A and B are shown apart, each in its own frame.
Chain A
Amino acid sequence: MKLPPSKRSHKAALIFMLPAAGLVLNGCAEKEVTAQVFSTPDECAAFYNPPAQCQAAFAEAEQLHPKVAPRYANKQECEADFGAGQCETAPEQHQQGSFFMPMMMGFMAGQMLNRGGLAAGSGQVTSQQTTGSTGRNTVPTQPLYKSRDDRNTFRTATNTAVASQPGTTNIRPSAVQPKPAALARRGGFGAQAAQRSANRSYGG
């Protein structure tokens, strides 16, 4: 049977505005994997890991640090997040001077150290790491940071809390994929909205 012609949509379904949408979008649950977190190579060795591998993991994280640490346009903004004396100059310059970044406060060794998984680490931000879209089933070795108001928690460069004490921790790999540090200026849009706040909407 042919439907009579209609002036309205054939369907008007919603998928992600519905309360249950989270189930649709999150996909399959990701498995946690084990990684180890330390402040220094010595602390790593004190946890019965081979000292040479601790040193190698630390060196790899240290090499990654200037590539991924969060960037700030000046020292004050950096110290506001990471604490007085906890920031250093970053390699890049902007028009008014240097970018700043927090100091590295520890490292996360992705593979189980005493099983020899570290030897292949290159210390480069590989394309796999920087795209952030593939290779998400392992935890890359990387630098860790501590914020000004929470000196116990180790955080990744993208501000994911990974552990509050040295030793073994369980991590979802997708949450800790290193990304190139963002040197972006932000807040360049929206000023007119703030000025003309009489409006409830900026549409019409």
Chain B
Amino acid sequence: MKRHSIAPRPGWQDFASSVGFEFHTIDNEQYWDESAYYQFSLQQIEQDLEAPTEELHQMALDLVPDILADEQLLKQLAIPERFWDFIATSWRSGEPHLYGRMDFSYQGTGPAKLLELNYDTPTSLFETGFFQWVWLEDQLMQGQLPQGSDQFNSVQDKLEQAFAQLPLAQPFYFSSVTESIEDKGTVDYLMDIALQAGLDCRYIQLEQLGDMDGQLVDLDGYPVNGLFKLYPWEFMLQEDFASTILTSKTQWLEPSWKLLLSNKGILPLLWKKYQGHPNLLPAFFADNREIEPGWVKKPLFSREGANIELVTASGQRIKEDGPYTDNGYIRQALAPLPKFGDSYTLIGSWVVGDSAAGICIREDNSLITKDSSRFLPHIILG
């Protein structure tokens, strides 16, 4: 695993805008950064990232029935009691899931350490599946990358297969929060792939969804029988339409049982069941007390690095503020992100269906990766 500088493609910003990737630069800060790339060996990809991703995914799935059978655990994960049966039914009836992303601390040697699962509303999908792929093809064509360079990135192929094979309601609706162009970008990309797979797709703003006699409906009053929502389950369960969720005949993507796995509480549960697994970090449920050096504190529900606090082994405290202070916390042993140049580097590893499907790389100037962290492409060579 190495970091190489490379000249950005001339005019890539215009190309990005032309395919709807408007958020390549955010508040004058670069988000998509192709001034460098990471190189992995095939062995690093297959043994250290791909195989552990699939193994950890199965381990996480195996925990779902354990959690559903244990009221204590459901409470510990802050799952509202009135939804326990709903979530259990969603799992037992085998409601299909589409995708997720695990984040790893990995520096090219030794086991990749699982930092968390983003199993409900993962983003940076378009950047991974499409934009990074086009970057590789362009740079190969221009002779800027060694011939034979490959990429661990079958995200789009696997998503298209999934949309073609999953038993999904038609028409299938896609929804995101109106104000977020980044989320709309992710949803547009998924709809584009679904369309290519032959699905009848419709977009509806999340706030426009209606409730008619307990059934979710679109703007014309037609029932929404299938809905992809880029919006956290733990939010939906607290909002006005929470009771609609219980009565509406709607197939959800992600299904509600994914709420158990996107919860940071899954990390102590994984550690408890598979203690000592090389890809797991020691993790425990925590209270709000100060943490010791060498530990990280994370809220059960949080996104984009918000409300994360860590103390390095040498005692340096780093804290990210945010809006997720209303539930419990976990603590996890710190596996500091490796430093390449001035940047701390995190690897996101995608799961589509039950297969590992590729990686994305984020760089930040701090040990905590955030929504503003730069996205860099990668290659496989050697």
Could you tell me which A residues sit within 8 Å of B by CB distance?
6-19, 132, 158, 179-193, 195-196, 198-204
Contacts and interface: CB of A to CB of B under 8 A. Distances in A.
Contacts of A202: 121, 176-177, 180, 183, 230-232, 235, 303
B90 interface: no
A78 B42 CA distance: 64
Contacts of A13: 196
Contact of B45 (A7, A190, A195): A7
A188 B178 CA distance: 14
B206 A189 contact: yes
A188 B244 CA distance: 9
Q: From DSSP, what is the main secondary structure of chain A's interface residues?
A: loop
5 contacts: A183-B212, A186-B211, A189-B209, A191-B240, A200-B372
B150 A8 contact: yes
A185 to B, nearest CB: 5
Contacts of A185: 210-212, 240
Contacts, number: 169
Output the residue of B177, B178, B188, B212 with the most chain A CB within 10 A. Answer: B177
A201 B371 contact: yes
Nearest to A186: B210
B96 interface: no
A168 B26 CA distance: 51
B258 to A, nearest CB: 13
B150 A6 contact: yes
Given A17-B188, A184-B210, A202-B183, 12 more contacts: A8-B152, A14-B192, A15-B192, A16-B192, A179-B221, A185-B211, A189-B236, A189-B241, A193-B180, A202-B176, A203-B183, A204-B303
B91 interface: no
Contacts of B195: 15-16
Contact of A193 (B155, B156, B182, B235): B235
Given A182-B210, A188-B211, A14 B153 contact: no
Interface stretch (B76-84, B127-135, B327-335): B127-135
A6 B154 CA distance: 9
Contacts of A196: 323-324
